[in-house]
Amino acid sequence: MSSSIIHLASRQGIPAALAVLGGASCFSPTHRGMASSCEDSTAVKGAVNKIDVNNPFMRPNLPETTLRKRMTSVGRFSLTSQTEANPSVPVFFLALSSGSQANKRKQLGERGTRGGGFRVADFEDAWMKNGMPSRHPRFHSVVCEESKYFEEKHNVKPGVEDDDETYLEIKAELDRHVFETLHYSVYRDDLRSRIEDMLMSPLQVKDKLWEVYISNGLLGSSGGISKAKVDLIVQEDMEHPSNFSGSNRGSILFRRTTKKGPWEDAASQNDAIPLESILLFRSHHALADGASIMAALSDLCDEAEEIREQIRLELLKWKRRRDSKKGFRKILSKILRLIKLCLWFIFGTARALAYQSYLQLTTRVNPFDAVKFDAETKGLAASGRSLSWCDAAPLDEAKTICKVLSKAKGSTITINDLFVSCITAAVTRQLVEHEEFMAPVGAHKTKCVGKHMNVVVPVHMRGGVVLPGESVGNNIGAFVCRCPAEMKHDAKGGSCAVERLEKVHESLLNMKKSPAPIVSHALAKFCSNFLPSCVTKSIFESANANASVVITNTRGRESKIHINGMPVESVAGFIPLPPGVPVGVVVQSYAGSMSLSLTAERYAIPDPDKFLQWVVEEYQALRHAAANLQ
């Protein structure tokens, strides 16, 4: 309550001291070199943002104060449950495109010395212009030594008038978070190596909770944007000559000697080639879950106000439907809804816990354990991560497949069901390949592939959005479900893709109707608050029920977003592997396209590109089945 009072006060421009008297009595601001002795969840969540856009961090003459805010239970849980080999650090990148460097300099005018692409100064301008420090102050927090509180540095600023009281302003030290690096020269490999390093390297949460590396290069050079998308971008730009610098448009794909000489000609053609910018983010789960981070970063884009308005309209529609009844009918409806909710939660929780116990008792080993043991025996086990990403299918096509198969089978198949089925089929093919590889030595004494496999599915409690008036947080739950693994082909020897999809749909539907994600979220909070860290780690590892894969689904905007006028062409996120789970896949929709990104142990998925190819092949089998039915 006190935190909300100060947050509201700061938004209205009320002096910090008055806000503290109203609800944050234990707030004790101190000047530079001192710390506040607050033992409660008291912090200024956002002050009036008057930081100069052109120079956001240089405030050497202002006194400072450090405020403390109690960490969320799930945030502390992420710190205690992570291991050295499995840091709780999600990574994702945004791939932006722009016109030629020559046009970029024309657009920037006096600021043309920045060169082409997206620079650190552009990120700083967008961050401060959109008021990110006041909207999401946790981005400027660190974890204290006791790992129980967030600490935020604030500038103590004098009032505008002589009789005004001082107020607080978050110290936005973006130079500690945003860096520019060399672009990735080897197609996909350099970017893949950097992502792997960021996934495996621990983030020092006492220094910062997030960081972003920005690089600029020729369009399509890093592999962050697929070749198909690059061709579409170039084709679109060729149709609009203003996007390129005059006659140089025709010399994008080759270089030739002219009267100016080979070096000057090469430089001028390089100016005419469109650019790409890669914004490579990583953060700790103590800051927020990955879905909340990506949702919060939508406040950084040019369409931020439009997105917030869409969320407000959806909330308004939901409230109108809820409050459509009036008088006695409204009261009776609320009572009945409350009774149903209580019964659903009580019996659903009992069922979810019983099902979780059943999965743990009946799945004694992970199917990939035999693979790991065999690799270690042969000296082939390698540390690190196997990573890959790709565009899987058009979003409209995937929706059509779901509609056709749903109508044919009399069910409601979702896009999530569709891709979970494809991914489990690829995991099965990978295990079969491991069996064949181990056959000369083990002679199939240890069978990797069973009839079923366990799958972990994270669920965002707010639908993957940050609600109006809220900031980033840890609103994540999860459930484990059992999906088919090895299946017999039908009598004609055809594909069993549709049969697998039906069983996956049934399994996921049963868990979606249960309060399992809410229960897991509550248990994580309980473990963090009351149990030792060693016990918390043990519970976290066993809760996965020896799952083979974790699959998360993220819904993005249906149209492209822009940052400082540059369109975001591709987005890819990489999930940190929970201890004991060797494979993780992120299914994401953005700008009318479905994309996949893979994070896996090297011994489990030695060839990540082949694995994603198997996923796409299973999708194509379902597409073919839907076409025949249609």
Give the DSSP letter string of 268-321.
HHHHHS-EEEEEEEEE-TTT--HHHHHHHGGGGSTTHHHHHHHHHHHHHHHHHH
Domain-located, residue 239: yes
Within 10 angstroms of residue 130's Cβ, the number of other Cβ atoms is 19
Q: Is residue 344 part of a domain?
A: no
**CATH code assigned at 517:** 3.30.559.30
Q: Same structural domain for residues 283 and 359?
A: no
Give pLDDT tens digits for 45-97. Answer: 333 333 343 444 444 556 788 888 888 888 888 888 888 888 999 999 999 99
Quick: pLDDT tens for 489-504: 533 334 689 999 999 9
Predicted local distance difference test score (pLDDT) of residue 441? 53
Statement to judge: residues 175 and 271 lie in one domain: yes
User: Is the residue at 181 inside a domain?
Assistant: yes
Same domain? 385 vs 283: no
48 closest CA partner among 3, 2, 8:
8
| Chosen domain end from 260, 288, 316 | 288
- Residue 243 shares a structural domain with residue 375: no
Last residue of a domain, one of 288, 320, 335: 288
Chain segment 529-565, per-residue pLDDT in tens: 888 888 888 888 888 999 999 999 988 888 999 999 9
The bridge status of strand 562-563 relative to strand 452-460 is unpaired
Co-location of 231 and 362 in the same domain: no
Q: Are 567 and 97 in contact (CB under 8 A)?
A: yes
Which pLDDT score is estimated for 262? 54
Over residues 408-441, the pLDDT tens digits come to: 989 999 999 999 999 999 999 999 999 888 766 5
State yes or no: pLDDT of 166 exceeds 60.
yes
| H-state helical runs in 363-478 | 369-377, 395-409, 415-442
Return the bridge partners of 168, or none.
156
pTM for this predicted structure: 0.82
* Residue-range definition of the domain harbouring residue 68: 2-288
In a domain, 323, yes or no: no
Domain boundary among 269, 288, 307: 288
492 and 388, same domain (yes or no): yes
Separation of alpha carbons 124 and 140, rounded Å: 13
Residue 58 is classified by DSSP as -
What is the token pair recorded at 440? 């000369």
Whether residues 267 and 372 fall in one domain: no
Co-location of 270 and 396 in the same domain? no
Residue 334 placed within a domain: no
Number of domains in the chain: 2
The answer on 581 and 441 residing in a single domain is: yes
Residue 298 lies in a domain: no
Distances (CA, A) of 351 to 259, 338, 481, 510: 79, 20, 13, 11
Does residue 327 belong to any structural domain of this protein? no
Six token digits for residue 349 = 């929780």
- Segment 18-27 shows an average pLDDT of 33
Q: Are residues 379 and 274 in the same domain?
A: no
Q: Which residue has the tokens 């069996």?
A: 435
Query: How many degrees, rounded to 5, is the angle at CA 181 between CA 177 and CA 186?
Result: 135
Assess if residue 338 is contained within a domain.
no
| Judgement on whether residues 267 and 369 belong to the same structural domain of the protein | no
pLDDT averaged over every residue in the chain: 80
Same domain, 590 and 478: yes
- Residue 600: what residue type? A
